[in-house]
């Protein structure tokens, strides 16, 4: 089976919602035991329950990726339970501080919060599993960036944070290569998740593109899909999950330091 993960143990941050659910599902389908980690503990438990209902090994843990203690607790708990961590998928992310979707421009708090979660949080999660991976000479780290990393846009703090994720992926991949730890990033395109619902609210009121103003929710999302995506179809959490599972497997053992667009052809780099 391509992307076989039998006997592997994976931690997925952001596993309570949207893309994270698709990633947990794909890893579980390939045979990994999945630790679903999220600030939203109830949501993480719901994902784990769903996976277990499908016959997978899954458990949930509450984590705040902005708190080193909380991350260390997540990793220590996983090691107690499973004795190993083979895979870390860093999916947890935000677009801004609470209420960002109502603001025309990113506030100081947005800049601070988005870098705290998307960059510093992701880096701290990687740092927490890396010593264990180095010790075993084995590990896979997959970072969820965004096509926003490819070009600046209307939410500059978010775009800059995702560009930082791609750059960090390269640094970490270079540092860990000799130890056979692979580090890659995925840049998802447009996915209709709770995060995008809020983005549609912001664009609907504040976009510099006049055509977006007044269109709401799903209607605006579908308009953007047609405008942006050469293949004229939206991406799904399953699309991202399948690539994450492949990158987390030994079939991708010679792939490291890369960032893959899953965007129906928006960016071709
Ligand atoms: N939806 C899209 O179109 C899209 C496109 C490109 C990239 N992305 C990226 O994909 C990832 C998932 O996005 P989504 O659309 O599924 O969003 P989402 O809001 O549905 O899910 C994000 C998850 O991250 C969790 N989270 C937020 N802050 C956290 C923290 N401090 N600690 C732990 N967990 C935390 C949330 O509780 C939530 O479950 C994000 O990194 C996002 O930037 C999304």
What pLDDT digit, counting tens, does each position of 65-96 carry? 999 999 999 999 999 999 999 999 999 999 99
Share of the chain above pLDDT 90, in %: 99
Task: Give the CA dihedral 109, 114, 116, 118, nearest 10 degrees.
Answer: 180
pLDDT of residue 1: 85
- Sequence-ordered list of residues with C-beta below 8 angstroms from that of 207, at least 6 positions apart, any chain: 154, 213
| Average pLDDT per consecutive 10 residues, the chain (269 residues; last block may be shorter) | 95 98 98 98 98 98 98 98 98 98 97 98 98 98 98 97 98 98 99 98 95 96 98 98 98 98 97
Look up residue 87 and give its two tokens: 């895979």
**Domain extents for the chain?**
9-190+236-262
Contact 138, 180 (CB under 8 A): yes
Ligand 1 atom having least distance to the Cα of 16: 39
Q: Which two tokens stand for residue 139?
A: 């590990």
Angle, nearest 10°, between helix axes 108-115 and 156-176? 20
Closest by CA position to 249, among listed 51, 32, 58, 56: 32
C-alpha to C-alpha distance for 199 and 214, rounded to whole angstroms: 13
Top-tier CATH class for 9-190+236-262: alpha beta
Write out residues with Cβ below 6 Å of ligand 1: 13-14, 16-20, 38-40, 43, 63-66, 91-94, 117, 121, 144, 146, 188, 190-191, 193-196
Question: Tokens 């309570």 — which residue?
Answer: 16
pLDDT at 91: 99
Distance CA 22, CA 31 (A): 14
Computed on alpha carbons and rounded to an integer, the radius of gyration of the chain in Å comes to 18
| Atom 19 in ligand 1: residue holding the nearest Cα | 195
Q: Alpha-carbon torsion 85, 91, 94, 95, what sign?
A: positive
pTM of the model: 0.98
Catalytic site residue 267?
A: no
Site to probe by mutation for ligand 1, drawn from 64, 70, 93 as the one with most ligand atoms within 8 Å of Cβ, is 93
Strands 87-90 and 139-144, by their bridges, are parallel
- The answer to whether 228 touches 190, Cβ cutoff 8 Å, is yes
- In this predicted structure, what is the pLDDT of residue 111? 98
Catalytic residue among 158, 203, 212, 223: 158
């Amino acid at each position: 089976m391509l992307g076989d993960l039998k006997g592997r143990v994976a931690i997925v941050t952001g596993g309570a919602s949207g893309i994270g659910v698709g990633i947990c599902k794909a890893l579980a389908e390939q045979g990994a035991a999945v630790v679903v980690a999220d600030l939203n503990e109830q949501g993480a438990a719901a994902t784990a329950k769903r996976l277990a209902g499908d016959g997978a090994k899954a458990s949930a843990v509450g984590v705040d990726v902005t708190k080193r203690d909380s991350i260390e607790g997540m990793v220590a708990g996983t090691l107690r339970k499973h004795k190993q961590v083979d895979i870390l998928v860093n999916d947890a992310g935000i677009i801004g501080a609470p209420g960002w979707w109502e603001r025309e421009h990113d506030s100081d708090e947005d800049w601070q919060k988005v870098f705290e979660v998307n960059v510093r949080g992701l880096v701290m999660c990687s740092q927490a599993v890396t010593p264990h991976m180095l010790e075993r000479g084995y590990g896979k780290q997959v970072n969820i960036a965004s096509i926003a990393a490819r070009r600046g846009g209307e939410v500059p703090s978010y775009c800059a944070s995702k560009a930082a994720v791609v750059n960090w992926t390269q640094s970490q991949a270079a540092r860990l290569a000799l130890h056979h730890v692979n580090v890659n990033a995925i840049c998802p395109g447009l996915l209709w998740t709770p995060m995008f619902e809020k983005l549609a609210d912001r664009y609907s009121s504040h976009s510099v593109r006049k055509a977006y103003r007044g269109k709401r929710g799903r209607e605006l999302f579908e308009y953007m899909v047609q405008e942006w995506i050469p293949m004229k179809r939206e991406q799904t959490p399953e699309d991202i999950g399948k690539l994450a599972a492949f990158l987390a497997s030994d079939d991708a053992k010679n792939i490291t330091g890369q960032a893959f667009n899953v965007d129906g052809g928006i960016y071709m780099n």
